[in-house]
Structure 1
Amino acid sequence: MAEVICLGIMVADLVGRPVRGLPEKGKLVLVDEMELHTGGCAVNTAIALRKLGIKTGVIGKVGRDVLGDFIVNRLNQVGIDTRGVKRDPSTTTSATMVMVNEDGERSFIHYVGCNAKLTPEDIDWDIVKGARILHIAGSLIMPGFDGEPTAEVLKKAKDMGCLTSMDTAWDPSDRWMQVLKPSLPYVDVFLPSLEEARKLSGYDKVEEMADVFLEVGVKIVAIKMGEKGCYIRTNKEQLMLPAFSVKAVDATGAGDAFVAGFLAGLVKGLDLESTAKLANAVGALAVTAIGASSGIRSWEETQAFIAANA
């Protein structure tokens, strides 16, 4: 039985690096590396959790196509429960072209695909039953699931005894809190990026951002701040932890890796500071290799990294 269920977006990522510029119309540019990887918040977080030794399942939707096969096969290979993954014959699997520049920063061309078709009716609640955490991975870019449907799912999960968590994505529709507000009273752990938290809250200071989320019912706010580390806040304590220094190769999936580290810390019963430090470490290691999951280490290796870089 899975300890954590990751529910949300599933994507195939075609990653090229280094991309120094887009070609002119009809022209060609070369990159040194190009690889196909699994992606999407639910997939990235699940794989990172599994590498950390946490029993994990995924709920989401892919097509009955080659990319869908690729994602499901990869999840099965690493020991993730895929019974909750639906195969849609009418729509193809979501995919992203990831262009990584020489500094590891990324630009994206994205096809929404099956992620737009995910609805609460796709959830097999027998898979959720008994899980310690239900994690919503990729809120704001699942049009069939965002808003009131997400709130209803979170409420049901809490009624079943699950801790609930949520990670957001960048909202291309620019609706932000209008979409998310119904869900936040049922979110125990909220893990937005700094820019997402800024757009959602309307504030520039992390303390004020966190206040907005705590006031509507969130129990733990963990704001991902990239190379600046993270800011953690509850009603009783707050922490600002610096990032670990590593050589960045590809930042794809770093936020999802941070989330996985944070959730793993909660499952393992770590205190808040140790949990945040673990999340920073998993996020840092993620950027040391191409793809969202290639740089993730085992629990023991990650703990050794933390000890060596204390």
Structure 2
Amino acid sequence: MNEKLDVICIGAAIVDIPLQPVSKNIFDIESYPLDKISMTIGGDAINEATIISRLGHKVALMSRIGKDAVGNFILEACEKDNIDINSIHIDKNIDTSINVGLVTEDGERTFVTNRNGSLWKMNIEDVDFDRFKNARLLSLASIFNNPLLDGFALVEVFQEAKKNEMIICADMIKARLGETLEDIREALSYVDYFFPNYDEACLITGKTELHDIADVFLDCGIKNVVIKIGKKGCFIKNKKQTLQVSACKNIKAIDTIGAGDNFASGFITGILDGRTLEECAEFANVTAAISVQSVGATTGVKSREQVEKLLQVYRKEK
């Protein structure tokens, strides 16, 4: 348990069942045949942990799962990808959450979720603070994804991380329970790198222009705002610089599930490697580009060599 870590990922570890491709009239058809239906690991934290580990860094996952077949599937996947599972809380009284992902032919998706599963039960008791002293970076995989990890809990988590001189990264999803920016403002003041996508950022800030959105977050105390803008790449702003880094060209997306998690994983890898902000963004864009070409959040990216190879092509085409 005292082993040195590069990253601690905190958040959801569930199972996804992606159904792809489906049309929006799926309920008009009595039997809807697909070429393949399979289980894959899912949830922001385990997605990040998996990809960061494959990119060569030592990662521990902090999450809550049930003592069931789905939970065992998650543990086996972690062990396969060399993710430290010593801080996963196994709770025999809950079911491990499952998401059914309905993915259209153009890669867009919606989820059917279990509101009584492990994702909704995870709380601050599942955070192993003792391990913070042995890690370089903390990733709160998605603000609002685990409702019991609310603004007050996040302040406690982030304060402890800063006591241990950790870099703090955070992503977010759309608020589940009507939470507002004020509910997380204090927590955001500790964040070094923040990775919302454009739609999420618009909703929480009430702004639509990238510069205005970033300024709202910077006013909260975030050090670097990194807004994911889909096919356009990403927009980055801090107190000293602003840049927009284009996405990979000629990429056919077949499944966008986990694309944002892959982006964050690539960016975090860049931070750990000591890359510049622009280089981190390039690495993140390439990681995400690989991910959307496969069905499932973690099926695309296999190794650092794979990302570095596409990175060379990407830089030539920029």
Task: Give the TM interval when normalised to the shorter protein.
Answer: over 0.9
Shift of residue 297, structure 1, vs aligned partner = 3.6
Alignment of 1:213-224 (within 5 A): 213-224=217-228
Q: CA 1:173–1:78 in structure 2 vs 1: closer, same or farther (change >3 Å)?
A: same
Taking a change above 3 Å as real, the CA distance of residues 129 and 22 of structure 1, as seen in their structure-2 partners, is farther
- Relative distance call for 1:85 and 1:240 in structure 2 (3 A) is same
- Work out whether residues 7 and 42 of structure 1, in 8 Å CA contact, stay in contact via their aligned partners in 2: yes
Name which of 188, 195, 201 aligns with 2:199: 195
Q: 1:186 Cα shift?
A: 1.1
8 Å CA contact retained: 1:285, 1:296:
yes
- Which moves more between the two structures, 23-32 or 144-153? 23-32
Does the Cα contact within 8 Å between 2:167 and 2:192 map onto a contact in 1?
Answer: yes
Aligned partner of 2:233 in structure 1 is: 229
Is the 2:258–2:298 Cα contact (8 Å) retained in structure 1?
Answer: yes
C-alpha deviation, 1:26, in angstroms: 8.9
Deviation, structure 1 residue 142:
1.5
How big is each residue's C-alpha offset from its partner over 1:81-140, in whole Å with a ceiling of 9 and x where there is no partner? 011110111110111001111111112111241122222222222322221111101211
Contact persistence 2:19–2:34 (CA under 8 A): yes
What is the SS of the residue equivalent to 2:56? coil
| Alignment partner, residue 292 of structure 1 | 297
Task: Tell me the amino acid that sits aligned with residue 305 of structure 1.
Answer: L
Matched-pair contact (CA < 8 Å) for 2:20–2:105: yes
Contact 1:194–1:223 (CA<8 Å) still a contact in 2? yes
Maintained 8 Å contact 1:4/1:57? yes
Show the counterpart of 1:128. Answer: 132
Of residues 153-162 and 300-309 in structure 1, the stretch that sits farther from structure 2 once superposed is: 300-309
1:1-310 to structure 2, matched below 5 A, reads 1-24=4-27, 27-112=30-115, 113-245=117-249, 246-310=251-315
Give SS of 1:28's match. coil
Contact 1:187–1:217 (8 Å) recurs in 2: yes
Deviation by residue 1:237-279 (Cα, 9 ceiling, x = unmatched):
1110111121112111000000000100000000111001101
TM-score by length of structure 2 reads 0.94
Q: Note if contact 2:286-2:310 (Cα within 8 Å) is conserved in structure 1.
A: yes
- The unaligned stretches of length 5 or more in structure 1 are none
Name the CA shift for 1:115/1:24 in 2 (closer, same or farther; >3 Å): closer
Q: TM-score, normalised by structure 1?
A: 0.96
What is the root-mean-square deviation of aligned Cα atoms in Å?
A: 1.4
Is 1:140–1:180's contact at 8 Å kept on the other side of the alignment? no
Divergent runs of 4+, >6 A: none
Q: CA deviation at 1:70?
A: 0.5
Is this contact kept in 1: 2:138–2:161, CA < 8 A? Answer: yes
Identity within the alignment, %: 33
Q: 1:234 to 1:26 in 2, by over 3 A?
A: closer
Instruction: Assess if the C-alpha contact under 8 Å between 1:220 and 1:234 holds in 2.
Output: yes
Q: Secondary structure at the match of 2:171?
A: strand
Letter in 2 for 1:267: L
Cα gap change, 1:23 to 1:272, in 2 (>3 Å): closer
Looking at structure 1, the residues matched to 182 and 72 of structure 2 have their Cα atoms a distance apart, in angstroms, of: 35
Distance of 2:252 and 2:113 partners within structure 1: 27
